[in-house]
Structure 1
């Protein structure tokens, strides 16, 4: 199963999704209730049209949900990112803008189909004076042991501006959640807490802390698979997907550690073979040079074919004198 599919399936569960947004965006307050969430189409593709200019933009988000908020609703999206993306604030801004544009076009279409009366200004825009769009909130989850070293807002992507220009510049900040820095959060959903905490400990090689955290706890297969995706571990993903009814994380981590130790032993043996080959090549080269020196080859010629300096060649010649 592809990592993106595992990621999307995990966050499709409303209680996990709500816990993520309530903790990261709303500072622990239960603003979003799981029972009020409904899934939306992740496709935000649309036609962008300005006068004679027309272009179809195809974009798909990772996970998008709608939550009732009073008598209205809010739209929320999650983007997963394995590597730093140096254009991510712009990318998120485009996703959000396309979401707004899609709703704008839908409202305009309904007015046209209903034959609603409109003022000249309303006819021009397609929106009536009282029409309102719904807020879109996005979170980018960055799961990598390396800290995010890219821009976190549109302003971070812009060249240095004079102060006067900077004051009127419209910035766009993205909500970035780095797994490596997730220790400052306490998620209400236990499974969400487990994936972030476990991944963070694995990043640091702190397997003892994982054992203390989970002990003999059996986690759901999709939780184990999510941890495997976040830590780039095919072994954990495989263990999770093959488990029936749940997986023992401590047992899986023991296999992961053993594989790491074995890889280290293999790497050490391979490094030893490489060093041996290098020494053999160097010794063979040395014997050839000795033979050429004995045959009376000129130093200039030996410099060209061996890459050694004149002093190094003279030192070798002394050894055979």
Structure 2
């Protein structure tokens, strides 16, 4: 697992961040899912082998998994919320998520079966022959599983967004009998800047910065108060993913990303201008040495540059003089 994988998994493990992501995606930013109503659960799923050649069970580890307790009409309702964090496009994401969700449903059925077996020792619950066969009672219900992909990249997601998108056939008559599975995806580049205001945590700041990381200037960030107080963990994640060098006071818990980013752009511009001046001076020397009929090796030694560099400059100067 790479550094970015570990960092995004850690960042998305916070209850308030998970709640914010799902509130943005499912409820358009309305704060329906409360962090205090989330409970972390085991992220390990097991794929049981079948057939004569089956070997040991295969373990699959989700990035993050929580149970959300919601109260509807006085009754508690539970939903399993999972996230998969991607800094690169996964072209089989639909199959990967479908497997994870299916394993979670199978796990719920298996847990129900185990609980009845334990209770049957004391004859607490009687199962019909059909219920005994499946290990699941007629009135039993499963907890819905919702998996959300958080894409920490600035490119457009050009991979399949459903299982049907991955098939090699387009026969609608066949496909209507094949259940589809679509991925839920937050794609930074597809979220408008106004929509980012629906995030209530710095997850929105991280994703919006990723979207604009290749911009030539900092106009997009000016006037956005949310970037004036960004938590250090979010800033560290931004630096790791984008290669930015946003620094803050070590004693402060938050960082003014607006000021730091604008200063970074200004320093880069000043450095670029300085390097441009130096390059111009070197090219002037090379031109003078050419007029003195010096060879490329001799010129390279004079300006302390590789011969290939000198050749490129000579070619450039020749093109300008023609």
Contact 1:140 1:176 (C-alpha < 8 Å) held by counterparts? yes
User: Which of 253, 264, 286 is residue 261 of structure 2 equivalent to?
Assistant: 253
* Cα distance in 2 between the residues matched to 1:188 and 1:65: 19
Richer in helix (by share): 1
Corresponding position of 2:10 = 9
1:1-321 alignment runs, 5 A limit: 2-44=3-45, 46-50=46-50, 52=52, 53=54, 55-70=56-71, 71-115=76-120, 116-183=125-192, 184-214=195-225, 217-230=228-241, 232-233=242-243, 235-236=245-246, 239=247, 244-254=252-262, 256-257=264-265, 258=267, 262=271, 273=306, 275-276=308-309
Mean CA deviation greater in 96-105 or 8-17: 8-17
Q: Distance in 2 between matches of 1:108 and 1:240?
A: 54
Let me know the Cα RMSD of the aligned residues. 3.3
Distance 1:54 1:274 in 2: 61
Superimposed CA distance per residue, residues 47-99 of structure 1 (whole angstroms, 9 cap, x where no aligned partner): 51446545412211111111112212001111111111111111111111111
2:291 aligns with none
Matched residue of 1:140: which SS? strand
CA 34–100 in structure 1, closer or farther in 2 if over 3 Å, else same: same
- Structure 1 gap ranges (5+): 283-321
Q: Is the 8 A contact 2:68 2:78 kept in 1?
A: yes
Match of 1:290 in 2: none
Question: What TM-score, normalized by structure 1, do the two folds share?
Answer: 0.74
Query: How many Å apart are 1:262 and its aligned residue?
Result: 4.8
Contact 1:89 1:174 in 2 (8 A): yes
How far is the alpha carbon of 1:27 from its aligned partner? 2.9
| 8 A Cα contact 1:48 1:54, kept in partner | no
CA 1:266 to 1:174, structure 2 compared with 1: closer, same or farther past 3 Å?
A: farther
What are the superposed Cα offsets for residues 127-181 of structure 1, whole Å, 9 maximum, x if unpaired? 1212221111011111222111110000111112322102211000000111111
- Please, which runs of 5 or more residues in structure 2 have no aligned partner? 280-304, 316-322
TM, length-normalised to structure 2: 0.74
Question: What does residue 291 of structure 1 align with?
Answer: none
* Aligned 8 A contact 1:202 1:210 in 2: no
Change (3 A) 1:14 1:120: same
How far apart, CA to CA, are the structure 2 residues paired with 1:89 and 1:11?
A: 20
**SS where residue 164 of structure 1 aligns?**
helix
CA contact (8 A) 2:88 2:153 kept: yes
Helix, strand or coil at the partner of 2:202: helix
